[in-house]
Amino acid sequence: QRIRSQNIVPCTVSQLLAAEQVDETFRIRDVEISQVTIMGIIRHAEKAPTNILYKVDDMTAAPMDVRQWVDTDEAGSENVVVPPGTYVKVAGHLRSFQNKKSLVAFKIMPLENMNEFTTHILEIVNAHMVLRKNLMSALRGPQSFSSAGVGDMGGYGGGGSLPVNGLTAHQSQVLNLIKNCPVPEGMSLQELKLQLQNMSMATIKQAVEFLSSEGHIYSTVDDDHYKSTDAE
């Protein structure tokens, strides 16, 4: 199962260098990444006609090559080279060519407040920890969500926004009801609404759509009736 991070993931250079490439995608400890941010010092800057090549050092490994393409038609701020010795935040895409990793940057910003650096290193730990937890949960598969024992959601992301077991609380509740429905044609949306007094029909429909697209449930006699794909 793939867990793709849709966001921009803060990383260390060491993590990027260790990322495994499978076809067109990169994974850090099995979590797929594409857009990343790093923060480090510019050790070297080389200007070419179409691009600027920087070496950015965040102390976790050797400096990383960061390439920024320059718009040759416009004379603008993109053509200004950030001087070596400057701490910068780089946002870009990870690339690998002939086994050498590099970043193609779409944004390079000098840091004005070095406390952002402290925040960045904390965000790296948090992001990779949460991504790893999500991956582990998804691999274990959807589990029954009992209101009695929510268990430890961890301190990261808290509340209802962080999916547990790969599913949100609402999705888990809907799936659980569908799974436990003994009727051959499965559970209807109306029945779900009766059982889930706290959820609006819109929320229920959203959950059903998600579960269906992920393959946890399938429609039976019509689009209003669903059964679980898990044989129980």
Partner 1 sequence: MGDVHEVPRPRIATAHLAQHIGKPVCFVGRVVKVHPTGKLFVLSDGEGKHTTVELSEPLDEEISGVLEVVGRVTNQATIMCMSYIQFREDKSPFDLELYNEALKIIHEFPEYFPCG
Q: Could you list the residues that contact partner 1 (CB under 8 A)?
A: 12, 14-15, 18, 29, 41, 43, 57, 59-63, 85, 87, 111-115, 118, 121-122, 124-125, 128-129, 132
Least gap, CB of 212 to partner 1 (angstroms): 34
Least gap, CB of 71 to partner 1 (angstroms): 28
Nearer to partner 1, 125 or 221 (CB): 125
Nearer to partner 1, 115 or 147 (CB): 115
Nearer to partner 1, 62 or 139 (CB): 62
Token couple for 157: 């992301």
Least gap, CB of 76 to partner 1 (angstroms): 24
Token couple for 173: 């509740």
Nearer to partner 1, 52 or 127 (CB): 127
* Secondary structure letter of residue 83 according to DSSP: P
* Sheet arrangement for strand 31-33: 20-22, 25-28, 31-33
Work out whether the CA dihedral 72, 75, 76, 80 comes out positive or negative: positive
- Of 164, 171, 161, 154, the closest CA to residue 209 belongs to 171
Distance from C-alpha of 102 to C-alpha of 17, rounded to nearest angstrom? 9
Least gap, CB of 29 to partner 1 (angstroms): 8
Least gap, CB of 42 to partner 1 (angstroms): 10
| E strands present in 71-136 | 87-97, 100-110
Which residues, 6 or more positions from 58, have their beta carbon under 8 angstroms from its beta carbon? 12, 13, 38, 39, 40, 41, 64
Nearer to partner 1, 18 or 150 (CB): 18
